[in-house]
Amino acid sequence: WTSAGQLVATGRCEWLEKRKCVRVPFTSTKQAGVEMCTICAGGQLGKALAAAVVTDSSSLHTRVRSGNASGMREEWCPELGRGGDVVDMWMEEGLREAMRMELPSTEVGLGTTDGSQIGQRGTYGWILIGGGRCQCSSGKVVSKTRDMDSYRTELHGLMSLMAGAWRMKKFRLIKAKCDNKSVVDGYEKIRKWEKGGGAGEFPKFNHSVDLWEEVRYWSGLWDGAFQLEWHKGHPEKRDPTRLSWCINDWMNHVADRIAAAEYGRSGGHDSPECLRHQRRWRLMYAGDSKIDRSEGGGS
Q: What are phi and psi of 65, to 5 degrees?
A: -120, 135
- Residue 186 pLDDT level (bands cut at 50, 70, 90): very high
- Residue 5 pLDDT level (bands cut at 50, 70, 90): low
**How far is 146 from 66, CA to CA, in rounded Å?**
35
Q: Identify which of 91, 166, 94, 161 has the alpha carbon closest to the alpha carbon of residue 133.
A: 91
The DSSP output letter for 119 is T
Q: What is the pLDDT of residue 111?
A: 98
**How far is 129 from 43, CA to CA, in rounded Å?**
52
The residue with greater pLDDT, 242 or 68, is: 242
Task: Give the tens place of pLDDT for each residue, 252-279.
Answer: 999 999 999 999 999 999 999 999 998 7
Q: What is the pLDDT of residue 191?
A: 97
Task: Give the tens place of pLDDT for each residue, 198-217.
Answer: 888 899 998 899 999 999 99
Q: What is the pLDDT of residue 199?
A: 86
| Tally of CB atoms within 10 A around 122 | 26
CB 82 within 8 A of CB 137: yes
Q: What is the pLDDT of residue 105?
A: 76
* Contacts of residue 299, Cβ cutoff 8 Å, sequence gap at least 6: 145, 290, 291
Q: What is the pLDDT of residue 7?
A: 60
CB 170 within 8 A of CB 142: no
Q: Output 200-204 pairs: Cβ under 8 A, ≥24 positions apart.
A: 202/55
Q: Give yes or no for residue 242 having a pLDDT over 60.
A: yes
| Tally of CB atoms within 10 A around 10 | 6
Compute the CA torsion angle 191, 176, 59, 23 (nearest 10 deg): 80
Q: What is the pLDDT of residue 37?
A: 72
Task: Give the tens place of pLDDT for each residue, 127-174.
Answer: 999 988 899 999 999 998 778 999 999 999 999 999 999 999 999 999
Task: Give the tens place of pLDDT for each residue, 63-116.
Answer: 333 333 334 568 999 999 999 999 999 999 999 999 998 866 789 999 999 999
Q: Identify which of 10, 250, 254, 298 has the alpha carbon closest to the alpha carbon of residue 144.
A: 298
Any bridge partners for residue 110, and if so which? 129, 175
Q: Is 242 left (phi over 0), alpha (psi -120 to 50) or beta?
A: left
Q: Give yes or no for residue 220 having a pLDDT over 80.
A: yes
Domains identified in the chain and CATH numbers:
1-73 (no CATH), 84-264 (3.30.420.10)
The DSSP output letter for 201 is P
| Tally of CB atoms within 10 A around 246 | 13
Q: Give yes or no for residue 280 having a pLDDT over 80.
A: no
Query: Considering the entire predicted model, what is its pTM?
Result: 0.72
**How far is 205 from 208, CA to CA, in rounded Å?**
8
CB 173 within 8 A of CB 108: yes
